[in-house]
Structure 1
Amino acid sequence: MIKQPRIRRIKISNFRGLASTDWIPGDRMNLLIGGGDSGKSTLLHAIALIFSPTNSAQVFETDYFNRSLDHGFEIEATVSLPPEVELANFQQTLWPWEWNGNSAILPDRERDDANSDPVCVFRVRGTADLELVWEVVQPNMEVVGLSTSLRRKVGVVRLANDDRNDRDLRLVPGSALDRLLSKGNLKSRISAQVGSVEVSNAFTGDETKALKNLDKILKNAGLPHNLDIGLTSSQGLSIGALVGLLAEKDGTLLPVASWGAGTRRMAALQVAGAIEAATRLTVIDEIERGLEPYRLRQLLDALGSDHQQCFLTTHSPIVIAAAKDAALWYMDGGGQIGRLHPDKIGRQQNRDPETFLSKVPIIAEGVTEVGFLRALFHTVFREREYVHGIRISDGGGNESMLGLLEALRSAGINGAGFCDDEGRFPERWRKLKDASGPKLFQWPAGCLEENVIAHVPDDKLLSLAYDPDGSGGDRLRTLADRLSLPGKEETEILAAAGSSAALRALIIAAATGDKRGAPDDRSAKEWSKHSQRWFKSIGGGAELCEKMIALGLWSKIEPDLLPFINAIRSAVGMSALAPGELRFDG
């Protein structure tokens, strides 16, 4: 039996920028990511609105999709409620539906109650007259009012990304502090106490005289008289709402609402955590706002250790990396929400969480490809690729990046890939290629090093052994070891290789760590490490790209790579390059 409310499904129609959104969230922590203006904050506001603790919430024409009032908007939530909510104690009789894992269905009278999963269907509508109507949809399709008392009983703690995070630190109706402290008639007792303060004691003689003169004027006019000055509430604002938490700072009691954004957020959640478990449902927009990384991790740990359901949005890689137990969701510009499955993204979530926050993530097979592409796109864009929202990430190998690309595609993320064709999982790769087009690049044969080194002129082959600092001893040593030479002079290596074709094959084998032909196991282990002395690093991949350019090899490689480059340019809103248009002359 659940101990806190659970939103099983939420459907939104024509609310702000969301024309149609239908989402079945996870039971615990739900972390929403997506581009700006994709609707993440709107979704959190919709959840808060359906459980609004008052009927005074206002809507404006901008809350309607495309400002169209004719059809109104609708937010519907299928909710599981714990027994502590005590539905039987409310005025109207609420009959439960039954949850089948996907939607609310009519209850099965023959089903054992112990195996049933009862839910309620709550709804809020924005009418064409800019009014809000809260409703409960019964299993017989009868609609009854959703009372403020029930909405307050469920209670949503909402921390928005603006400066209004102090609501739950004041005694406003339905706030966390109100639900924690307001037993009996606390607010009325506070209002009476505050209203009895003798404000007029602060008057000067002239001010007292002016008030008496006003009293005479009103009395002569037949209006209320015997005037005094005191604290009063106004429309939409009660005296109780002026009462909030105070805390000592440097010997002075200050409103907690006046402290920093991060402190206010942490304090509001602590207040909410002190309320009985049945009223914990939390929505936090941009959870990282105002919090240092260590406090952010503390907050995520606290939310994850509880059994409550919460809804978070973020633009922070720290949050994505730290929220390992959260259900990670991607929301696209059309309001559709896709799950990023943890079994396929877990390693990437820890290794490079920024992958999931970029406009166009490019998943490269390994570190060599990462370095090569970063150097190549620096030339393509004449500036760093991240300026355009591109993130080039190490996918951790061919099979690992395949699963990652599938997860990105399934969630709706506009991903790209750059890798070898190792001949494994051909059907899965084919489906990805059909869906991605030229954004998914695989060499027709061989790997990156093979395809570049294949075009190096014969008389320039040994120039590959020298890094940008002019040092080539380590790389020449790998060639000499493979030829069983005691020395590592170029002349010895050239003579032992016997031909340019053999030398080219030898360099490719060393650069890729090929251990075939090693005389024994010990040598095989050493040969497999040779790639690290060549281009098997981010810096090595960048060097390989620079050598491609310096040796004039681009015209040979352009037919393979230009469609991929143009697909990336198109994804960031840039025009395609014609063959021969890309220049490397500084």
Structure 2
Amino acid sequence: MAAIRHVEICNFRGIAYLSWAPKEGINALIGPGDVGKSTVLEAIDLVLGTRRSTFTDTDFHCLNVEQPISIEVTVGDLPRELLDLELYSAAIRGWSAVTSELADEPGEGLEPVITLKVTVSESCEATWQLHSERLAANELPRAMRNDHRAMIMAQRLGSAVGQHLAWGPTSSLSKLSGSGKGMGAALARAGRAARDDFTVADAPALKPAVTAAQQVARDLAVPAALDAIAALDPRSVNISNGAIALHGSNHVPLRALGTGSSRLLAAGLQAKVSRSVPVLLLDEVEHGLEPHRIARLLHYLGSKETESRPQVIMTTHSPVVLRELSAEQLCVARSDIGKTLRLERFGEAERGLLRTHAEAFLSAAILVCEGPTEIGLMRGFDLFWSSCNQLSLAFLGISLVDGKGTPNAQKTALQFSAAGFEVALLRDSDVPPPQNEQTFRGRGCPVFCWRDGHATENELFDSLPPEALPELIAIADKHHTSTVVDTNLGSHGLNKDSITALRTRPTDAHRSILAKAARSGAWFKRIDFGEEVAREVVCPNFTSLTGQLPITIQEIWTWTRRFAPPNDT
């Protein structure tokens, strides 16, 4: 079954350059938005798809029309007809599966492949042709027969898939119907029956016009129109293949289904005819589907199969898809400043992270937080920054990951760094960090933390001005009740009168007791609690903070701005 071995894209839309070797089976492109994943599918479709597109200046990278658009798709596992040396001898090239390198001539140990190329010049005129250095040097013909091209074509399924649920020229149903012998005669009979069945009685509003036409014919001596009637014009009633579609039991066409259901059915039909269309392109595979149907579709496309299946190249922003696929089936899209796009694969080491932190794989950068309190604080600060007209973490493509305490947080951060992500760590300092933190720092990754011996609760109660401390206590009261909070305070040596004084007029001497009670009572050990603390108490008092807290938060803010677009820092 034909499969894409290599894709090379130059100067096309958001991609300055890409060189990528997809694998057989499923290739899921993941990563942050607007990095170029869908553009890869569009480029492949332009070369191997059934349509011909018109181009404008906006299709050139950064509107640079002086450099032509060039898209090359190399295909292997060729059908016997394409290995005909008489037709394509100068077009056959060699592909090394070991080194993922392309040679212009076939050779020992190399798979015979062909390259199809689309070039778009400054005039926005496109050229589709077979490509090899020998063809170019000898000015040989570069055309490919249409029936041969159909053997290696790709089928793209977008949001509009209704044509695949009807019998059309390129639909899956037509391929499943085989030659379609006798279809033309059946359609002609259907057209005649429609015309025979129609009478003016079906549309009474037509009768006055028909009568008027007959009168005019009599007055102007047009004998052929004396008995004029209203009927369906054979030239207008042209029932083609596309007029026959799948219908439900209620006689409603299935292409009227919701987006998710229609895509699911069309993708399944495409998989059924994979021998006819060996490459399937799916943009946003999860679009319109519930998690259980996403899993079913991926299974149907061969996510768990080892035998030869259609090659599938898809994009996704769904953690459900990431958890269903193996690490080897994923390619993360990363872009340099010059928009050289890289599609990098994961391995066995990332399998565990995919199960526990799939969402983070869809981001540009990751801040691993020691626990839910730290995640909540960062979410609260993010809301505060956004309210001050600063770019949000979501805009910057930064995700927050729960490290689930020391030393697991350091381990998680190191694993993400080894997988090629931009990673930072936020932890408290109540216990010494594990040795692997030094390894993490050695990779150039920042660690944000409080003063030695300080947990997050210590830093909060030590940094806020005295008048803000009752606000923290009020949040604890709201979520745990004042009775529980008083019990926590009493367990650290305070009597009823001291607790009353602390609640109304806290002093510096009360700070350590409040921190101990907050830690033992888990006052803020939830993401939403930590978010409320940052949003309602810390941020409004930020200019009055002392100690390490404002310094660390400023360091984190500076780190996050690294991921801002140019001129947006």
Fold conserved between structures, TM > 0.5: yes
Aligned to 2:228: none
Q: Is the 8 A contact 2:377 2:533 kept in 1?
A: yes
Q: CA deviation at 1:45?
A: 1.3
Counterpart position of 2:145: 147
Tell me which residue corresponds to 1:262: 260
The answer to whether structure 1 residue 329 and structure 2 residue 349 are counterparts is: no
Assess, with a 3 A threshold, how the Cα gap between structure 1 residues 44 and 456 changes in structure 2: closer, same or farther: closer
Correspondence for 2:551: 559
CA distance in 1: counterparts of 2:532 and 2:50, whole angstroms: 61
List per-residue Cα deviations over 1:50-79 (Å, max 9, x = no partner): 11236x544444433345555432111222
Q: Alignment identity in percent?
A: 22
Q: TM-score, normalised by structure 1?
A: 0.69
Candidates 431, 436, 461, aligned match of 1:425? 436
When residues 370 and 32 of structure 1 are mapped into structure 2, their CA distance, relative to the original with a 3 A threshold, is same
Which one of 553, 568, 574 corresponds to residue 560 of structure 2?
568
SS of the aligned residue for 2:247 comes to: strand
Q: Distance in 2 between matches of 1:572 and 1:95?
A: 45
Change in Cα spacing, 1:395 to 1:138, as seen in structure 2 (3 Å) is same
Report the equivalent of 1:125. 119
Instruction: Map Cα deviations across residues 338-362 of structure 1 (whole Å, 9 max, x no partner).
Output: 4363555544544444334457643
Q: Which residue number corresponds to residue 248 of structure 2?
A: 248
1:425 maps to a residue whose letter is N
Conserved? CA contact 1:283–1:312, under 8 Å: yes
Among 441, 452, 459, the residue aligned to 1:452: 459
Give distance in 2, aligned partners of 1:186 and 1:84: 30
Query: Aligned partner of 1:472: which letter?
Result: V
2:221 aligned with 1:230, yes or no?
no
- Cα 1:73–1:180, aligned 2, differ >3 Å: closer, same or farther? farther
Instruction: Give the corresponding residue for 1:33.
Output: 30
Deviations 1:155-193 (A, max 9, x none): 3221124xx322333444433333333427667666766
Aligned residue among 100, 103, 117 for 2:101: 103
Q: 2:6 aligns with which of 3, 6, 9?
A: 9
Cα contact 2:10–2:18 (8 A) shared by 1: yes
Match of 1:274 among 272, 275, 283: 272
SS at match of 2:332: strand
Tell me if 1:394 matches 2:402.
yes
Report deviation, 1:261: 1.8
Structure-1 residue corresponding to 2:225: none
Structure 1, 419-428 or 366-375: larger mean CA deviation: 419-428
Task: Please give the alpha-carbon distance, in whole angstroms, between the structure 2 residues aligned to 1:90 and 1:192.
Answer: 42
- Give the superposition deviation at 1:20: 1.7
Distance 1:280 1:320, change over 3 A: same
- The one-letter code sitting in structure 1 at the alignment partner of 2:59 is D
**3-state DSSP class of the match of 2:17?**
strand
1:519 match: none
**What is the aligned counterpart of 1:135 among 129, 136, 159?**
129
Distance in 1 separating the partners of 2:441 and 2:117: 44
SS in 2 for 1:562: helix
Contact 2:166/2:246, CA 8 A, preserved across alignment: no
Please give the alpha-carbon distance, in whole angstroms, between the structure 2 residues aligned to 1:417 and 1:240: 62
Is this contact kept in 2: 1:244–1:255, CA < 8 A?
no
Cα distance, 1:267–1:343 mapped onto 2, change above 3 Å: same
Aligned with residue 50 of structure 1, among 36, 47, 50: 47
**Segment of structure 1 superposing worse, 196-205 or 322-331:** 196-205
Mapped partners of 2:537, 2:57: distance in 1: 59
Structure 1 residue 283: Cα displacement: 1.0
Deviation (angstroms), 1:418: 1.8
Range with bigger deviation, 44-53 or 124-133? 124-133
Give the whole-Å Cα distance in 2 for the aligned partners of 1:418 and 1:12.
Answer: 39
Mapping for residues 345-364 of structure 1, pairs under 5 Å = 345-357=350-362, 361-364=366-369
- Give the letter for the 2:11 counterpart: N
Partner of residue 72, structure 2: 76
Deviation readout 1:376-407 (Å, 9 max, x if unpaired): 44444449966756543213433333234415
> Residue 29 of structure 1: CA displacement?
2.1
Paired residues of 2:380 and 2:533 also in contact (CA < 8 A) = no
Instruction: Give distance in 2, aligned partners of 1:118 and 1:150.
Output: 16
The one-letter amino acid of 2:19's match is D
CA distance in 2, matches of 1:262, 1:443: 48
Q: What is the CA distance between 1:154 and its match in structure 2?
A: 2.1
Which residue does 1:18 correspond to in 2? 15
State the 1:275 CA deviation: 1.4
Contact 1:194 1:239 (8 Å CA) reproduced: yes
Aligned pairs for 1:429-508 (under 5 A) are: 429-433=440-444, 441-443=448-450, 445-446=452-453, 448-449=455-456, 452=459, 455=462, 467-468=476-477, 469-470=481-482, 471-472=484-485, 475=488
Q: CA separation of 1:134/1:562 partners in 2, compared to 1, >3 Å: closer, same or farther?
A: same
Query: Closer, same or farther in 2 for the Cα pair 1:36/1:109, shift >3 Å?
Result: closer
Match of 2:316 in 1: 314
* Matching residue within 176, 180, 188 for 2:176: 180
Distance 2:16 2:173 in 1: 35
Seen in structure 2, the aligned counterparts of structure 1 residues 181 and 504 have a Cα distance that, compared at 3 Å, is: same
Deviation (angstroms), 1:24: 2.5
Distance 1:46 1:207 in 2: 58
Note the C-alpha offset of 1:12.
0.8
Provide the residue aligned with 2:205 in structure 1. Answer: none
Report deviation, 1:44: 0.9
Distance (whole Å) between structure 2 residues aligned to residue 13 and residue 550 of structure 1: 50
Alpha-carbon distance in structure 1 between the residues aligned to 2:266 and 2:35: 27
| TM-score normalised by structure 2 residue count | 0.71
**Residues 71 and 550 from structure 1, CA distance in 2 versus in 1: closer, same or farther, beyond 3 angstroms?**
closer
- What CA distance in whole angstroms lies between the structure 2 residues aligned with 1:272 and 1:85? 23
Note if contact 2:268-2:300 (Cα within 8 Å) is conserved in structure 1.
no
Check the 8 A contact 1:33/1:330 in 2, yes or no: yes
Tell me by how many angstroms 1:207 deviates.
Answer: 11
Question: Relative to structure 1, is the Cα distance of residues 174 and 290 closer, same or farther in structure 2, using a 3 angstrom cutoff?
Answer: same
Q: Which residue of 1 aligns with 2:165?
A: 169
Give the conservation status (yes or no) of the 8 Å contact 1:31–1:312.
yes
Contact 1:39 1:335 in 2 (8 A): no
Q: How many Å apart are 1:278 and its aligned residue?
A: 6.0
SS of residue in 2 equivalent to 1:283:
strand
C-alpha deviation, 1:10, in angstroms: 0.8
Change (3 A) 1:472 1:248: closer
Counterpart selection for 2:61 from 52, 65, 68: 65
Q: Tell whether the 8 Å contact from 2:369 to 2:425 is kept in structure 1 after alignment.
A: yes
Change (3 A) 1:476 1:70: closer
Give the aligned partner of residue 502 of structure 2: none
**Structure 2: runs of 5+ lacking an equivalent:** 201-209, 223-231, 500-506
Q: Is the 8 A contact 1:367 1:541 kept in 2?
A: yes
Query: Structure 1 residues 148, 345: CA separation in 2 closer, same or farther (over 3 Å shift)?
Result: same
Task: Give yes or no for contact 1:369–1:448 (8 Å, CA) kept in 2.
Answer: no
Cα distance, 1:570 vs structure 2:
6.4
Q: State yes or no: 1:339 paired with 2:336.
A: no
